[in-house]
């Protein structure tokens, strides 16, 4: 239904806009990746809500279809290796922290001894 899609698009743009005050400085340009970058209405709503230039990552030479997958792969490798996925200089956490743990349904957990 078109109304539902319009509502979800507006909510998504609004959610991004609500994060802007938490940044150390207001951006003059926002690069967008993921499927939303192909949605003209989403891009327009983001630009309006953010009050700055909003462009797809392809405009700066990145592959928007691969970038999200690469980011998740990077985080997954860090989890598997027991490395932090969040640090004070990137997210403001007090100390570096991990971002999850592996889940293998049907395989007994080594951590629980089961």
pLDDT digits (tens, 9 = 90+) for 50-106: 999 999 999 999 999 899 889 999 999 999 898 999 999 888 889 999 887 777 788
Set out the domains of the chain in order of their start, with CATH numbers. 1-62 (3.30.420.40), 63-106 (no CATH)
Looking at beta carbons, which pairs linking 18-24 to residues 24 or more positions away fall under 8 Å?
Answer: 20/50
The reported pTM is 0.70
Are 104 and 80 in contact, with CB atoms under 8 Å apart?
no
Instruction: Give the DSSP letter of residue 97.
Output: B
């Amino acid at each position: 239904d078109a109304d539902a899609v319009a509502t979800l698009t507006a909510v998504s743009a609004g959610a991004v806009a609500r994060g802007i005050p938490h940044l150390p400085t207001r951006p003059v340009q926002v690069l967008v990746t993921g499927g939303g970058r192909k949605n003209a209405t989403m891009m327009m709503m983001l630009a309006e809500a953010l009050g700055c230039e909003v462009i797809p990552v392809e405009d700066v030479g990145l592959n928007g279809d691969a970038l999200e997958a690469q980011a998740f792969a990077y985080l997954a490798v860090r989890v598997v290796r027991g490395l932090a996925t969040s640090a004070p200089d990137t997210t403001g956490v007090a100390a570096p922290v991990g971002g999850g743990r592996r889940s293998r349904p049907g395989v007994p957990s080594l951590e629980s001894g089961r």
